[in-house]
Chains A and B, each alone.
Chain A
Amino acid sequence: MPQVPGERAEFIDGLRAFVPMSMSILPFGLVCGAAASNAGLTAGQALAMSWVIFAGSAQIASTQLFAGGAPLLVILATATIINLRFLMYGASLSRHFGGLSRRWQAAIAYLLTDQAFALTILRRSTSPRQPHLHWFYLGLAGATWVCWQLATIAGILLGSLVPASWSLDFIVPLTFIAMLVPLLTGRAMVLAAVTGGSAAVLLVLPLQLNLIVAALLGVAAGVAAEKLGSDR
């Protein structure tokens, strides 16, 4: 390995970083594809979701709302709330990618996911002087994109073949549990999750507004707990 690995080496390192992550991308993509086709979207629409939106949580939630007959505005607002976290990721990444061309920034933005963000920040902290971080990101996030599209297609094809008695819809909460549990560091974060979860169950709101209101209540609970935390 050269002292300062070139762009190609960084790109390959990004691909390598993706390999263990595929274990979480694959089942989630499968579920997204299956859920979309079971909700009555055509195969083309289900596929379009994955390459136009490319954000699993928002795809699942909007699919479920669509199947439940929610109004368009509620679906859009819910997807917006779920994807608000990208604002935070983008702001953090702008420190490293702010100087790149608009074309690079557009590609980075389109490919942004929870996993790509987390691993790129980790990479940044382990090799802070690396000048080709964007190539690492491209390898990592590009592989994620390809994997996501293939998993969605498989989900669309397989989704309608599996009988409902197998309860495979339970994979949706399972993948979210796998993502949520590692986030629960600290009392405020736990409270945000507990509040969001309970509110989603207990609130009886029209127009399927539950998810939005529950998420906002959870965020408020987390912020409040953090503010009060120093007193306890």
Chain B
Amino acid sequence: MIIAIGLITFFLRFAPLALLARLELAGWLQQALRFVPAAVMAAIIAPPLFFAAGAPNIVPDPPRIAAAAVAALIAWRTRSTLSTVVLGMLALWALQALLG
């Protein structure tokens, strides 16, 4: 599994660099690819806020949702990963203590 993902990843990185030196990616493809990081990251962020580990049903986790909102605000204001992670964790612990 690891080697297969590694090969795919290398191909995605190498192919355009080596082969597209004179070719351009199609316009629609470029346009669509611009949205991939935002869509993927949001899809990774959201589920752990609404599902307990392994639970089949939606169970909102209020401390996590609120802490994520705080972290988003911090990320927006500071643009710093370290501040976002540290303050986001502190927010989560505070909220967990408050909300049980």
Contacts and interface: CB of A to CB of B under 8 A. Distances in A.
B85 A110 contact: no
B12 to A, nearest CB: 4
Contact of A91 (B24, B46, B79): B24
Chain A interface size band reads 35 or more
Given A27-B82, A173-B48, A193 B14 contact: no
Interface string B14-33: 11111011101100101111
A85 B17 contact: no
Q: What is the interface residue range for chain B against chain A?
A: 35 or more
Contacts of B43: 196-197, 199-200, 210-211, 214-215, 218
A110 B13 contact: yes
Contacts of A93: 16-17
Nearest to A75: B1
B3 to A, nearest CB: 6
Given A91-B24, A109-B17, A196-B40, A188 B35 contact: yes
A180 B85 contact: no
Contact of A174 (B16, B20, B89): B89
Contacts of A184: 38
A68 B48 CA distance: 13
Interface string A46-74: 00110011110110111000101000100
Contacts of A222: 32, 34-35, 38-39
B13 A218 contact: no
A23 B42 contact: no
Q: Which of B30, B35, B75 has the most chain A CB atoms closer than 10 A to its own CB? A: B35
A57 B45 CA distance: 11
A218 B22 CA distance: 30
Interface string A171-202: 11111111111111000110011111111110
Interface string A74-92: 0110011111111111110
A7 interface: no
A24 interface: yes
Contacts of A173: 44-45, 48-49, 64, 68, 71
5 contacts: A90-B20, A91-B25, A177-B88, A201-B47, A215-B39
